């Protein structure tokens, strides 16, 4: 996306990003959109309800910011086990409805990457160059076709 700044925090969890957002926005006061791609690193903890609470904390923070916020949903994995896949799908489903209910943009990556092994690296977790291009295009499409606006979001339910 033109004029976009990409920051990456390998291994970051939802709580880590919640802690970083205020400083990121303070360092970039011109920012009017925020795309957050997190959640996958929380999955191995196998604590889905706690992860939802972490996202609710994120949504609360977003409600106090004057930016259009987007949650970039998780990408599925290939060959990483049914348990991990099931948790990612469950998170994706919950996030899509939670984001809609509070007015945060949701970018569905799951459908774009499901059963597309050729978009992943050898580890089945990280995207290869083709996968990164598709993710970038999917993010741009999601932002361009969203109806979100800066606002104070109501509290979603679990």
Parallel, antiparallel or unpaired: strands 33-36 and 68-72: parallel
Which residues fall within 8 angstroms of residue 99, CB to CB, at 6 or more apart?
A: 71, 105, 106
Domain ranges (residues) in the chain:
14-144
Indicate the pLDDT class of residue 99, thresholds 50, 70 and 90.
very high
pTM above 0.75, yes or no: yes
User: For 108-134, what is the mean pLDDT?
Assistant: 91
Is it true that domain 14-144 has CATH number 1.10.10.10?
no
Express each pLDDT in 32-49 by its tens digit.
889 998 767 667 777 788
């Amino acid at each position: 996306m033109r004029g976009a700044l990409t920051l990456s925090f390998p291994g970051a969890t939802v709580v880590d990003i919640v802690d970083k957002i205020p400083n990121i926005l303070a360092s970039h006061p011109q920012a009017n959109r925020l795309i957050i791609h997190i959640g996958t690193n929380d999955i191995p903890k196998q604590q889905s309800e706690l992860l939802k609470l972490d996202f609710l904390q994120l949504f609360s923070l977003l409600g106090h910011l004057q930016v259009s916020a987007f949650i970039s949903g998780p990408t599925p994995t290939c060959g990483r086990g049914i348990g991990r896949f099931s948790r990612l799908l469950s998170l994706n489903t919950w996030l899509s409805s939670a984001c809609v209910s509070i007015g945060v943009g949701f970018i569905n990556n799951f459908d774009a990457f499901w059963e597309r092994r050729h978009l992943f690296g050898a580890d089945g977790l990280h995207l290869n160059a083709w996968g990164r291009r598709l993710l970038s295009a999917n993010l741009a499409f999601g932002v361009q076709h969203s109806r979100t606006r800066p606002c104070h979001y109501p509290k979603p339910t679990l």
